[in-house]
Amino acid sequence: MTSAQTPEEPEPEAARQLPPATVSRLTLYLRMLNGLLAEGVERVSSDSLAESAGVGSANVRKDLSYLGSYGTRGVGYEVANLSRKIAQALGLTHEWRVAIVGAGNLGRALARYAGFESRGFDVVALLDADQMLVGTEIGWLRVSDAADLEEVLAKTRANMVVLALPASVAQSVCDRVVDAGVHSILSFAPVVLNVPDYVNLRKVDMATELQILAYHAQRLQVPGLDAERPSA
């Protein structure tokens, strides 16, 4: 690879499209690297990273190779440098302002979740349609009226939205968010949302996760079914 065959711009450090599976593992590596940074560790090997992240070391090396060759053969990777490269590739050098729509149990939990702040995501608004909640304080935020969604998004210059609301209203709120120009959405609503394909939508569904667990648990409980034999 690295052949100078590209007839177009050489693109010095711009990472091209990363495989989705790689992107999600990069977030893992970044977490481990930041842990190592805090401990003062300066170098790390792909083997060591692999063990912490629970993947194969060849996988780690291939993932990192998409970012460029930032390791040193025979030695490993420089923690601080690699951490910076990954953060850059993931777009964490931008400032991300997150609005949470839905101040129910889950929305409140998310609003107070320290993990967002510490990773560079700034929760700038919390909205709900329930007039009983509007105006109350949760964490350090005052709950805004979901009726004013567009204004609140504009005023806070939110560029990400988290949907923490019932399935019944998720689609309509989602549509308004998209129309308002926010095209990165994380939904916790247990429903499939339709969005234009220029919108980045991710979904977390807790009931689905439990159902997947149930499948695997049940499979183990059935005796004698899966005795994988090389050949009978």
Partner DNA sequence: CCATGTGAAAGGCTTCACAGCA
Partner DNA sequence: TGCTGTGAAGCCTTTCACATGG
Residue 57 touches a second copy, criterion: CB under 8 A: no
**Which partner from the list DNA, a second copy, none does 222 bind, CB cut-off 5 to 8 Å by kind?**
a second copy
Site string for a second copy, 70-109 (x = CB under 8 A): -------------------xxxxxx-x-x-----xxx-xx
By CB under 7 A, the residues from 131 to 150 that bind DNA are none
Please report, as residue ranges, which positions from 43 to 72 form the binding site for DNA (by CB under 7 A). 44-47, 55-59, 61-62, 64-65, 69-72
Helix 57-65 with 46-53: angle, nearest 10 deg: 110
Instruction: Give the residue with the Cβ less far from DNA, 18 or 129.
Output: 18
Q: Residues 1 to 40: which contact a second copy by CB under 8 A?
A: 9, 11, 13-18, 23-24, 27-28, 30-32
Binding mask 10-49 for DNA (x = CB under 7 A): ---------xxxx---------------------xxxx--
Q: What is the 3-state secondary structure (H, E, C) of the chain?
A: CCCCCCCCCCCCCCCCCCCHHHHHHHHHHHHHHHHHHHHCCCEECHHHHHHHHCCCHHHHHHHHHCCCCCEECCCEEEHHHHHHHHHHHCCCCCCEEEEEECCCHHHHHHHCCHHHHHCCEEEEEEEECCCCCCCCEECCEEEEEHHHHHHHHHHHCCCEEEECCCHHHHHHHHHHHHHCCCCEEEECCCCCCCCCCCCEEEECCHHHHHHHHHHHHHHHHCCCCCCCCCCC
Contact range with a second copy by CB under 8 A, out of 46-54, 63-71, 129-137, 149-157: 46-54
Q: Site residues for a second copy, window 195-214 (CB under 8 A)?
A: 198, 200, 202, 204-214
Q: Which residues are known binding-site members for NAD(+)? A: 102-107
Site residues, DNA (CB under 7 A): 1-2, 19-22, 44-47, 55-59, 61-62, 64-65, 69-77
